[in-house]
Copies of this chain bind each other. A is one copy, B any other.
Amino acid sequence: MTETASRPTLEAVAARAGVSRATVSRVVNGGDGVREPLVERVRRAVEELGYVPNQAARSLVTKRHDAIAVVIAEPETRVFADPFFALQLRGISKELTAHDNQLVLLLTEGRDDHARVARYLAGGHVDGALVFSLHLDDPLPGLIQGAGVPTVFGGRPGWSDGTRDVVYVDSDNRGGAREAVRLLAGLGRTRIAHITGPLDQTSAADRLDGYREVMGVDDPRLVVESDFTPGGAERAMRELLDRCPDLDAVFAANDLAASGALRVLRERGRRVPEDVAVVGFDDLLPVAEQSDPPLTTVRQDIEEMGRIMARLLLRRLDRRVAEEATGGVVLPTTLVRRASA
């Protein structure tokens, strides 16, 4: 049992089964057009030798890899702290697995990693890429497009002026925000504040737009830019309360931010929802249901988004030259009513 006991090759299997390499190859790849007795013999030889095809050799000729890269342009800490990515990945993973594709996760922390990721993608390790969490001035999408790898984006890319040829999947961020704010307004709240996400991401910008559409007049004191994290939202909430002590509602750009806001409101002695009503965005169960009080929020089906992204990409890879289904898929959101508003 030497360490260097190199794996058996097609050749070895062929020899053992007493057939040609071509026949073994056929059997291994489904076995169409090979007569039953031979199939059986080859199968046994494969079994006995513990043969596993060498993917490098296969890819070299087929130019397929049956692997898809998922590129997340956020530091690990954030990726893992935010259940959003977990759900998205779950959806992707399920869809890819169902189609016998391997998921390869590439995390890029900072610009230094960009070149490395671009090289990896261009190096032909994967058939396509699913790319997330882009910021407005991010050079990554350019690099990726340059790598010539079919790509589907998660979230509407900021630089997509309709001119570029991009495929993306997104939630109806603007519509969801409108619903949230309308609910608060319908509750009779008049000083509705908004804690935004990082505005260089379209999801945050779109939610702000939705908020503004319903608010009509825009009181700048009621809007604070934040970063989708609980800590950032705490700071934002404090600032809002200082600026505008009589505010009676808060629409937070995501659930994590809402939970931060809740903490500050409690600390400052405001009752939720009596004094201040709060609405979040995402409906991340562990956050929304566990928070005190449970969070009223805008639900987006995150897992489904992941699944759709994967599906779109796989379809694109299939129909080779066929219709390049371009553009965006926008999924609806729904309001989930709990105790906070």
Query: A57 and B55: CB pair below 8 A?
Result: no
A68-123, CB < 8 A from B = 76-77, 79-81, 83, 85-86, 89-90, 93, 97, 100, 102-107, 109, 113, 116, 119-120, 122-123
Query: B119 and A93: CB pair below 8 A?
Result: no
Query: A89 and B93: CB pair below 8 A?
Result: no
Query: A77 and B60: CB pair below 8 A?
Result: no
Task: Report the nearest B residue to A263, measured CB to CB.
Answer: B290
Query: B90 and A122: CB pair below 8 A?
Result: no
- Asked whether any CB of chain B lies closer than 8 Å to the CB of A330, the reply is no
A51-70, CB < 8 A from B = 52-57, 59-60, 65, 67
Interface size on A, residues (CB 8 A): 49
- Asked whether any CB of chain B lies closer than 8 Å to the CB of A321, the reply is yes
Residue from A120, A146, A321 having most chain B Cβ neighbours under 10 A: A120
Contacts of A147 in B (CB 8 A): 52
Give the distance to chain B from A151, nearest Cβ to Cβ, in Å: 12
Task: Report the nearest B residue to A54, measured CB to CB.
Answer: B124
A1-29, CB < 8 A from B = 3-5, 7
A128-179, CB < 8 A from B = 146-148
Task: Report the nearest B residue to A118, measured CB to CB.
Answer: B52
- Asked whether any CB of chain B lies closer than 8 Å to the CB of A125, the reply is yes
Given A4-B321, A5-B148, A113-B97: A123 and B54 interface contact (C-beta under 8 Å): yes
Q: How far is the CA of A56 from the CA of B126 in the complex (A)?
A: 10
Give the distance to chain B from A197, nearest Cβ to Cβ, in Å: 19
- Asked whether any CB of chain B lies closer than 8 Å to the CB of A286, the reply is yes
Contacts of A103 in B (CB 8 A): 105-107
Give the distance to chain B from A36, nearest Cβ to Cβ, in Å: 25
Q: How far is the CA of A324 from the CA of B2 in the complex (A)?
A: 12
Q: A55-B123, A104-B105 given; name 5 further pairs at CB < 8 Å.
A: A52-B147, A79-B80, A81-B86, A89-B107, A102-B116
Using CB atoms and an 8 Å cutoff, list the residues of chain A in contact with chain B. 3-5, 7, 50, 52-57, 59-60, 65, 67, 76-77, 79-81, 83, 85-86, 89-90, 93, 97, 100, 102-107, 109, 113, 116, 119-120, 122-125, 146-148, 286, 321, 324
